Amino acid sequence: MGKTNLAERQQAIPGIASESDADAWFERRFNECFEAREAAKTPSMSIVVTKGTLDWAYPPFILASSAAALGWEVSLFFTFYGLGLLKKDVDDLEISPLGNPAMPMKMPFGPGWFRAIDWKIPNAVMGNVPGFEKLATSLMKKTMHDKGVASVEELRTACLEADVKMIACQMTVDLFGWSMDDFIPEVRDWVGAASFLPTAQRSDVSLFI
């Protein structure tokens, strides 16, 4: 550093006696400004929602409502089967035990020891017994009700009230032959993946569910 530059810094910054003092001061100021910027920044999260079964409907809405309650900016991009979670009626969602072979079945009735059993149902039974999915769905819904777990619609409403952005994949709408009238009016936007990716890129947390 030349004498002129050091002299200019000494005039602008009190207490600077050497080049190393100036470098230390600028590094300290940079760190202080960076930390202040980070502290003032609003965290953000983006979630790509791809599944539409009852059990897979809970993670995105729980994460989104929790993050929004913390003051985060949250965007959910619903695509393929996940887009069904934006339909006006989500009461008919079912679980797919066959797609979750490790999922234990618990009975929501009977004595405590009976309810505590993890019923490992073979895939052959889950895939071949007529009406098994509806039975499993009924048991799951009763268990959730008994445990006081909010419904999917209640969680979705909580997200909307917290200003979570619900974004629909326009390609999926066209692919499945659906209409915009099939979905809740609170859908924030109808876009393709290319339009959502910049939002995900800028987010502090990006998830694929």
Q: Mind listing the pLDDT tens digit for each residue in 76-117?
A: 999 999 999 999 888 788 877 666 655 666 666 677 766 676
Residue 74: per-residue pLDDT:
95
- Convert the pLDDT of each residue in 25-35 to its tens digit: 666 766 666 56
Task: Kindly state whether residues 33 and 106 are assigned to the same domain.
Answer: no
pLDDT (tens digit per residue) in 37-71: 655 667 999 999 999 888 889 999 999 999 999 99
Count of domains in the chain?
A: 2
- Cα 135 from Cα 92, distance rounded (Å): 13
* Residue 116 backbone class (left: φ over 0; alpha: ψ -120 to 50; beta: rest): alpha
Q: Confidence band (pLDDT; 50, 70, 90) for 135?
A: confident
* Domain identity same for 57 and 93: yes
Mark whether 168 and 199 lie in a shared domain: yes
Same-domain status, 121 and 183: yes
pLDDT in tens, 144-154: 888 888 888 99
Element (H, E) at 123: helix 123-128
The pLDDT value given to residue 70 = 92
Write the CATH number for 156: 3.40.1260.10
Tens digits of residue pLDDT in 144-202: 888 888 888 999 999 999 999 999 999 999 999 998 889 999 998 999 989 999 999 99
Residues 86 and 169 in one domain: yes
Q: Does 1 score more than 50 pLDDT?
A: no
Predicted confidence at residue 138, as pLDDT, reads 79
Is the domain of 25 the same as that of 51? no
Write down the mean pLDDT value for the chain: 80
Whether 13 and 61 map to the same domain: the answer is no
Same domain, 60 and 9: no
**Co-location of 101 and 175 in the same domain:** yes
pTM for the predicted model, two decimal places: 0.72
> Could you tell me if 154 and 166 lie in one domain?
yes
pLDDT at 37: 61
Nearest to 160 by CA among 86, 81, 90, 50: 86
Structural domain including 97 reads 44-208
Which secondary structure element, helix H or strand E, spans residue 163, and what is its range? none
Q: How far apart are CA 122 and CA 106, in angstroms?
A: 14
Check whether residue 30 and residue 50 sit in a common domain. no
- Tell me what pLDDT residue 13 has: 61
Same domain, 118 and 143: yes
What residues contact 18, with CB distance under 8 A and at least 6 apart? Answer: 6
